[in-house]
């Protein structure tokens, strides 16, 4: 840390202050008590640091800071409890002042900590973590979360996470992959997230964890670090397959990963999980001591450590899947501009994000899996049972912890771009819209062809720009948790994978969302859960349905009864899209085709139900069975032809959709939805403490 040369007139002040303090200590008891508290030593060190050009908290004026400090001591000296609290806080502050102001102290601390904590890097005022085990999610869903590096900067009290990769298996045919280059957590100021890319993958041909069976985890949760789990094997196999393919076909070469953290025997050797699998090695549990022994000891030299840190961070940035995709897309875009082909402008960041997300869609969900992982359930079981039971009786502490965290850490995200493949969207439409259609109508065949032409060769990306999220967790449990999200821009793109061909098909003026979450859904708050419906409660709800005044009240009472029987509660959600809204013509044509297909299927279902009713009726009227069937068939063919040719008409639907969208393109205001998301309460009923009287601080 650079410092200005000592100033003789500046050093005279701390020396004079120290001499005056020493003289006072010989004459009065209050000065000795003042010295024991550490207050004079703190002030002398601050004065020395200021004289050397390293003032603590330079944004604050010097004398107001000293005045506030001495006033605080004057108040605390009136009580023995406050006095010792002040003393306990003063000496750690003295250490921090020495660490910031004096190079000798900071260098000594760095050397000592490097020798003590071999897995960390200490560079200047930064502490860096690399080679971090993955977090294996094994709770309600299966997944893997990888943080490639974490840097903590003492001077700014900030955490910087380098390379975030998350893969979550939502179901057997659906997976969510999330990647982000950098996340900055500024303690007590906010959380800043860079461009975030999410990919919704469907079917085993897209999923990284498609063949991993649900809950296929090790039963033993004692070891903290676990090697060769099914999720790690699947992620590593996908990453290895990708690197092998790129070595044969890709012209973009990734730099060789620097070996900073492994022992000398593994230096220069590439260790892959697939090699372990070919040797038929069974999964092994390892203790934290064995895992940390693999990490190489850092050199105490600051310059060497700083160089290794910079090279490591640069390597993480350049091998990030988002960085590689961005470089690839920008190269293709430059070539397309030269050839006067489909391209987007250099300053079109929105189009670049959509193209990058489409390109990343085909990459593994977790491109850089580590060798070891930590299971969520293992971390949950680290706390002794008696301590868990004790904390379970103190739900107020949980709210006191979450309240300042949520208040002082608003979340700002530059953008979120989510992509799904057109093949999977077409599959979902056919399965959900046309699944029950058993006819061989040419109209349906033509509509299926329209779906395929627009969907099957493309990816579709939804982009949310400049997002701000604020959450409020109340200290008093009578209030609900409120979360608000604001989106300055909302867009949708149709992109062609592996190219820069893209088109914006939708754009809104913005959006916002609001979630109201009941406080009883917080951990350790099961005493606030609504009671299970008894026979009396069921009778009261049924009576409420029977005596409801009007159809709306009847429907509300019926829904309340159904939720009580299912043991459900609601998370209230309110989503609004800001107008105007602009639509592409191809999207409008697709919507018109989808509306027509829905109407045809709906008509056929109604016709099938009527045919079934008539067949039951003809069983009772056997004398006119043949005549009735002939008349019914002729009538239905006539009605179907009239409805499909008249009501379900392409031009009519196109005009209707065109009128609506034309109005939306010039309209002002908001359009939205407000409703509830049902939540099953069974998983929240732990059975440990269910009475409010059992809580120490409810």
Q: Any idea what the Cα angle at residue 23 is, between residues 18 and 27, rounded to 5°?
A: 145
Question: What confidence score (pLDDT) does residue 194 get?
Answer: 95
Place of tokens 């990284």: 208
The interaxial angle of helices 80-101 and 103-116, nearest 10 deg, is 90
Query: 3-class DSSP state for residue 222?
Result: coil
Phi and psi based region of residue 510 (left: phi greater than 0; alpha: psi -120 to 50; beta: remaining):
left
Closest Cα partner for 312 from 264, 360, 256?
A: 256
Closest Cα partner for 49 from 92, 1, 82?
A: 1
The DSSP element (H or E) to which 468 belongs, if any, is strand 459-472
| Positions of the chain with pLDDT lower than 70, given as ranges | 1-15, 17-18, 21-27, 53-60, 111, 113-122, 214-224, 240-303, 435-443, 605-654, 687-694, 697
* Secondary structure (DSSP) of 10-59: HHHHHHHHHHHHHHHHTT-HHHHHHHHTTHHHHHHHHHHHHHTT--SSTT
Enumerate the β-bridge partners of residue 129. 120, 150
Tokens of 73: 């001591």
Chain Cα centroid distance, residue 600: 40
Place of tokens 């060789």: 256
Query: 3-class DSSP state for residue 216?
Result: coil
Query: 3-class DSSP state for residue 505?
Result: strand
End-to-end CA distance of the chain, in Å?
Answer: 49
Tokens of 619: 């069983």
Residues 6+ apart with CB under 8 A from 452: 426
For residues 206-229, one letter each, b for 16 or more C-beta atoms within 10 angstroms of the residue's C-beta and e for the rest, the string is: bbbbbebeeeebbeebebbbbbbb
CA distance to 32, 538, 542, per residue, from 561 (Å): 72, 7, 7
Tokens of 314: 């640069």
Place of tokens 């191809």: 586
Compute the distance between CA of residue 167 and CA of residue 197 in angstroms, rounded to an integer. 12
Closest Cα partner for 288 from 222, 383, 231, 235?
A: 222
Neighbours of 149 (CB within 10 A): 21
Compute the distance between CA of residue 632 and CA of residue 635 in angstroms, rounded to an integer. 5
Place of tokens 């009290």: 157
CA distance to 25, 394, 429, 480, 519, per residue, from 525 (Å): 54, 9, 41, 13, 8
Compute the distance between CA of residue 263 and CA of residue 688 in angstroms, rounded to an integer. 47
Tokens of 229: 């789990």
* Secondary structure (DSSP) of 358-425: HHHTTS-SSSS--SEEEEHHHHHTTS-HHHHHHHHT-HHHHHHHHHHHHHH--EEEEEEEEEEEHHHH
Chain Cα centroid distance, residue 108: 39
Is the backbone peptide bond immediately before 580 cis, with ω within 30 degrees of 0? yes
Question: What confidence score (pLDDT) does residue 629 get?
Answer: 47
Q: Any idea what the Cα angle at residue 263 is, between residues 260 and 269, rounded to 5°?
A: 80
The interaxial angle of helices 8-25 and 39-51, nearest 10 deg, is 170
Question: What confidence score (pLDDT) does residue 292 get?
Answer: 45
Question: What confidence score (pLDDT) does residue 643 get?
Answer: 44
| Residues belonging to the chain | 698
Enumerate the β-bridge partners of residue 506. 492, 583
**Contact between residue 48 and residue 14 where contact means Cβ atoms under 8 Å apart:** yes
**Contact between residue 137 and residue 376 where contact means Cβ atoms under 8 Å apart:** yes
Closest Cα partner for 194 from 360, 323, 329?
A: 323
Compute the distance between CA of residue 307 and CA of residue 212 in angstroms, rounded to an integer. 40
Compute the distance between CA of residue 213 and CA of residue 277 in angstroms, rounded to an integer. 18
Query: 3-class DSSP state for residue 272?
Result: coil
DSSP 190: E
Compute the distance between CA of residue 395 and CA of residue 639 in angstroms, rounded to an integer. 65
Q: Any idea what the Cα angle at residue 621 is, between residues 618 and 626, rounded to 5°?
A: 60
Residue 631: φ, ψ to 5°: -65, -45
Compute the distance between CA of residue 462 and CA of residue 647 in angstroms, rounded to an integer. 32
CA distance to 105, 111, 149, 451, 465, per residue, from 115 (Å): 16, 6, 20, 63, 45
Tokens of 191: 């959380």
Q: Any idea what the Cα angle at residue 533 is, between residues 529 and 536, rounded to 5°?
A: 135
Tokens of 467: 């997002």
Question: What confidence score (pLDDT) does residue 231 get?
Answer: 81
Query: 3-class DSSP state for residue 281?
Result: coil
Chain Cα centroid distance, residue 555: 36
Average pLDDT, rounded, for the chain: 77
């Amino acid at each position: 840390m650079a410092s200005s040369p000592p100033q003789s007139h500046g050093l005279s002040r701390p020396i004079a202050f120290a001499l005056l303090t020493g003289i006072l200590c010989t004459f009065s008891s209050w000065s000795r008590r003042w010295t024991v508290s550490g207050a004079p030593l703190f002030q002398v060190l601050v004065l020395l640091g200021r004289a050397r050009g390293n003032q603590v908290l330079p944004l604050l004026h010097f004398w107001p800071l000293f005045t506030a400090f001495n006033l605080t001591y004057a108040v605390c000296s009136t009580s023995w409890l406050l006095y010792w609290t002040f003393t306990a806080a003063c000496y750690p502050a003295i250490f921090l002042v020495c660490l910031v102001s004096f190079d000798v102290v900071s260098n000594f601390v760095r050397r000592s900590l490097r020798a003590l904590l071999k897995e960390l890097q200490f560079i200047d005022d930064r502490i860096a973590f690399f080679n971090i085990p993955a977090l294996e999610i094994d709770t309600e869903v299966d997944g893997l979360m990888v943080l490639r590096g974490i840097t903590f900067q003492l001077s700014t009290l900030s955490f910087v996470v380098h390379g975030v990769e998350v893969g979550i298996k939502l179901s057997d045919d659906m997976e969510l992959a999330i990647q982000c280059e950098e996340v900055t957590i500024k303690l007590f100021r906010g959380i800043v997230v860079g461009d975030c890319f999410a990919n919704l993958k469907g079917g085993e041909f897209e999923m990284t964890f498609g063949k991993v069976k649900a809950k296929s985890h090790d039963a033993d949760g004692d070891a903290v670090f676990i090697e060769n789990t099914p999720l790690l094997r699947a992620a590593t196999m996908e990453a290895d397959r990708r690197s092998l393919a790129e070595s044969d076909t890709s012209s973009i070469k990734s730099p060789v990963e620097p070996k900073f953290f492994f022992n000398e025997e593994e230096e220069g050797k590439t260790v892959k999980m697939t090699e372990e699998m070919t040797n038929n090695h069974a999964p092994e549990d390892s203790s934290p001591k064995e895992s940390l022994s693999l990490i190489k000891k850092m050199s105490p030299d600051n310059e060497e450590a700083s160089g290794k840190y910079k090279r490591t961070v640069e390597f993480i940035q350049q091998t990030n899947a988002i960085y590689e995709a961005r470089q690839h897309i920008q190269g293709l875009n430059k070539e397309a501009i030269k050839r006067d082909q489909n391209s987007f402008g250099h300053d079109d960041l929105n189009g670049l994000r959509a193209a990058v997300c489409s390109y990343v869609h085909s990459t593994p969900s977790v491109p850089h899996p580590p060798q070891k992982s930590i299971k969520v359930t293992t971390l949950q079981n680290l706390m002794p049972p008696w301590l868990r039971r004790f904390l379970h009786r103190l739900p107020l502490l949980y709210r006191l912890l979450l309240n300042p965290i949520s208040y002082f850490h608003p979340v700002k995200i530059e953008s979120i771009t989510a992509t799904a493949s057109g093949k999977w969207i077409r599959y979902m439409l056919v399965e959900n819209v046309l699944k029950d259609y058993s006819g061989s109508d040419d109209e349906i065949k033509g509509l299926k062809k329209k779906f395929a032409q627009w969907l099957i060769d493309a990816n579709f990306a939804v982009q949310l720009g400049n997002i701000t999220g604020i959450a409020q967790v109340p200290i008093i449990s009578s209030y609900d948790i409120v979360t608000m999200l604001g989106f300055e821009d909302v867009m949708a793109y149709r992109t062609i994978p592996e190219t820069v061909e893209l088109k914006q098909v939708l754009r809104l003026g913005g959006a916002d969302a609001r979630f109201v979450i009941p406080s009883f859904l917080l951990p350790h708050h099961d005493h606030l859960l609504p009671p299970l419906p008894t026979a009396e409660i069921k009778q009261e709800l049924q009576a409420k349905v029977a005596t409801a005044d009007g159809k709306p009240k009847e429907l509300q009472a019926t829904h309340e009864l159904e939720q009580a029987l299912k043991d459900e509660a609601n998370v209230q959600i309110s989503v609004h899209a800001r107008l105007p809204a602009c639509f592409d013509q191809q999207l409008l044509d697709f919507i018109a085709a989808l509306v027509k297909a829905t109407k045809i299927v709906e008509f056929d279902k109604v016709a099938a139900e009527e045919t079934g009713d008539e067949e039951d009726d003809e069983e009772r009227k056997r004398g006119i069975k043949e005549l009735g069937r002939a008349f019914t068939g002729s009538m239905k063919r006539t009605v179907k032809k009239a409805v499909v040719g008249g009501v379900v008409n392409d031009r009519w639907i196109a005009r209707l959709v065109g009128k609506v969208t034309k109005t939306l393109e010039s309209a002002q205001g908001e359009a939205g939805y407000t409703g509830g998301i049902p939540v099953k309460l069974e998983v929240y009923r732990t059975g440990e403490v269910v009475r409010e009287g059992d809580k120490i601080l409810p």
